[in-house]
Amino acid sequence: MLLFTRLLQAISVLLFIGTAYAEHTSNWAVLVSTSRFWFNYRHLANVLSLYRTVKRLGIPDSQIILMLPDDMACNPRNAFPGTVYSNADRAVDLYGDNIEVDYRGYEVTVENFIRLLTDRLDEDVPRSKRLGSDAGSNVLVYMTGHGGDQFLKFQDAEEIGAWDLADAFGQMWEKKRYHELLFMIDTCQANTMFTHFYSPNIVATGSSELDQSSYSHHADNDVGVAVIDRWTYYVLEFLETQVTSANSKLTLGDLFDSYDLSKIHSQPGVRWDLFPGGEQEGRLRTVVDFFGNVQDVEIENANATDPGSLKEDLAEIARLIEKWRTRDAEYAAIIGNSTSPSADAHSSTVHLKTKRAVGPTKMADESSWGKRLVGLSVVGACTAVWVAGTILGRSA
């Protein structure tokens, strides 16, 4: 009997661990295009299509970091101003009227990308530009651009190496900034970018092997350039036609099985070994675990009376307020007859500061006079040297 109960306990513990492990509490997406200029229209279209998909599946803008190094919609060469399309049929305007670009133009740099992942940002960087993920977050990282063997070019000016990316993810893992991470990359020789990853709980997939190019899917003759890359096109086709709702049960295995070599024209790769349980376990993760958002709400039952329920809490809060009110009255009585100081004291104890108009402030607190003095003496010394030099030179 004892043995049996022990066994039951062990099983329940195991089950609990299993369920606890699979759960995540929030979803984040980092979508990065790394190339500029009109002829790279398709890279921005790739990212915007994916942006549209994750938004459709429920990740709010505040949890999507979108990095666009160029503005194709307002490019003078764009025959359809204000729009970006990823298909020649031009059915869906990806730019739409609701798009939140977090990093744009020359803000898209290797440094900013790594700072974003590791959250080594200035204190005054707004939250919309930060990756606020924690130990319970599933993070989707999608990158596209021009790359090569173990590097991806940013803006034609710099490149991120596979080592740097691996270290960034390593630091994220150290600081518990993700629960599970899906890394997707569409570039030439894409699979070389995730060869150096070492932190656990990462599934990585790329569009092409070493020494293989990734190709664009098709061009729109009116736009004048290719509008989407092949691998992204077929990933999106899967997401748009099969993952129709946020409750979809399709798995990552289904997504990766949908890769068709004859259509993609390169060999897509998947890396499972960092994932606990390897391929077997990783294939079971649903697509919306990464592309969708956690959707659960807790309705408060107005009639329940168990501890911590709404009713119980309301009574306690009401008592607290009552107590506060009486104390306030007593306090006012102690302070004296004048009402204005008591009102002041009240607001200061509550820490509800009303907003004050902010005037201009000095940016630095060092004295400008000291600097001026130093400058003046330097100029004086130089003049003295010059004068002395001319006098001595003349006498020589």
Query: Which of 14, 381 has the CB closer to other proteins?
Result: 14
Rounded CA-CA distance 306/301 in Å is: 10
Please compute, for residue 277, the number of CA atoms within 13 A of its CA located in the half-sphere on the CB side: 11
Find residue 151's DSSP bridge partners. 148, 161
Least distance (Å) from other proteins to the CB of residue 96? Answer: 10
Query: Which of 195, 267 has the CB closer to other proteins?
Result: 195
Query: Which of 112, 267 has the CB closer to other proteins?
Result: 112
Contact 78, 223 (CB under 8 A): yes
Query: Which of 98, 395 has the CB closer to other proteins?
Result: 98
DSSP one-letter string for 234-247:
HHHHHHHHT--STT
Query: Which of 170, 224 has the CB closer to other proteins?
Result: 170
Handedness of CA 43, 48, 51, 57 (dihedral sign): negative
Rounded CA-CA distance 327/52 in Å is: 54
Q: Which residues are catalytic?
A: 146, 188
Say which residues have a Cβ less than 8 Å from residue 14's Cβ, sequence separation at least 6.
none
Q: Give the rounded distance of the alpha carbon of 50 from its chain centre.
A: 14
Reading the block at residue 230, the tokens are 């092949």
Rounded CA-CA distance 141/119 in Å is: 15
Least distance (Å) from other proteins to the CB of residue 357? Answer: 16
Least distance (Å) from other proteins to the CB of residue 55? Answer: 7
Pairing of strands 147-148, 151-154: antiparallel
Query: Which of 221, 303 has the CB closer to other proteins?
Result: 303
Contact 148, 211 (CB under 8 A): no
Longest dimension (CA), the chain: 115
Least distance (Å) from other proteins to the CB of residue 163? Answer: 4
Q: What's 82's DSSP letter?
A: T
Least distance (Å) from other proteins to the CB of residue 218? Answer: 29
Contact 68, 47 (CB under 8 A): yes
Least distance (Å) from other proteins to the CB of residue 230? Answer: 29
Q: Give the rounded distance of the alpha carbon of 144 from its chain centre.
A: 15
